[in-house]
Amino acid sequence: MENLDRYSRQTLFKPIGEEGQRKLLKSRVVVVGMGALGTVIANHLVRSGVGYVRFIDRDLVELSNLQRQSLYDEEDAANHLPKVIAAEQKLRKVNSTVKVEAIIADLNLDNAEELLGGFDVIVDGTDNFSTRYLINDIAVKLNIPWVYGGAVSSRGMFAVIVPGKTPCYRCLFPEVPAGLGETCDTIGVLSPITDIVGSFEAVEVLKLLVGAEHNPNLEQLDIWYSSFLQMDISDGKNPECPACVHHQYDFLDRSSIQQTTFAILCGRDTVQINPRNVDSINLENLAKSLKNSGKVSVNPFLLRFFPDEKATMVFFKDGRVLIHGVEDITEARMYYSRFVGA
Rounded to a whole number of angstroms, the minimum distance from the CB of residue 241 to Zn ion is 3
Rounded to a whole number of angstroms, the minimum distance from the CB of residue 211 to Zn ion is 23
**Does residue 171 bind Zn ion (CB under 5 A)?**
yes
- In 10 A of CB 212, how many CB atoms? 13
**Does residue 115 bind Zn ion (CB under 5 A)?**
no
Site string for Zn ion, 196-235 (x = CB under 5 A): ----------------------------------------
- In 10 A of CB 19, how many CB atoms? 10
Site string for Zn ion, 121-160 (x = CB under 5 A): ----------------------------------------
Rounded to a whole number of angstroms, the minimum distance from the CB of residue 76 to Zn ion is 38
C-alpha span between 212 and 255 (Å, rounded): 40
Please identify, among the stretches 27-35, 83-91, 239-247, 325-333, the one whose residues bind Zn ion according to the rule CB under 5 A. 239-247
Provide DSSP, 268-309: TTEEEE--TT-----HHHHHHHHTTTSEEEE-SSEEEEESSS
**Does residue 241 bind Zn ion (CB under 5 A)?**
yes
Burial label, 191 (beta-carbon count in 10 A; 0-12, 13-18, 19+)? middle
**Does residue 30 bind Zn ion (CB under 5 A)?**
no
Q: How many residues line the site for Zn ion (CB under 5 A)?
A: 6
Rounded to a whole number of angstroms, the minimum distance from the CB of residue 136 to Zn ion is 8
Please identify, among the stretches 44-52, 186-194, 236-244, 251-259, the one whose residues bind Zn ion according to the rule CB under 5 A. 236-244
**Does residue 170 bind Zn ion (CB under 5 A)?**
yes
Task: Among 42, 61, 116, 168, indicate the residue that binds Zn ion (CB under 5 A).
Answer: 168
Q: Which residues contact 231 (CB under 8 A, 6 or more apart)?
A: 217, 218, 219, 220
Task: Among 196, 244, 286, 302, indicate the residue that binds Zn ion (CB under 5 A).
Answer: 244
Q: Identify each DSSP E strand in the chain by its residue range.
A: 28-32, 52-57, 99-104, 121-124, 146-152, 155-161, 217-222, 227-232, 262-265, 270-273, 295-298, 302-306, 312-316, 321-324
Check the CA dihedral 124-126-128-134 and report its sign.
negative
CB 61 within 8 A of CB 76: yes
- Tell me whether residue 107 or residue 243 sits nearer to Zn ion (CB atom): 243
Binding site for Zn ion (CB under 5 A): 168, 170-171, 241, 243-244
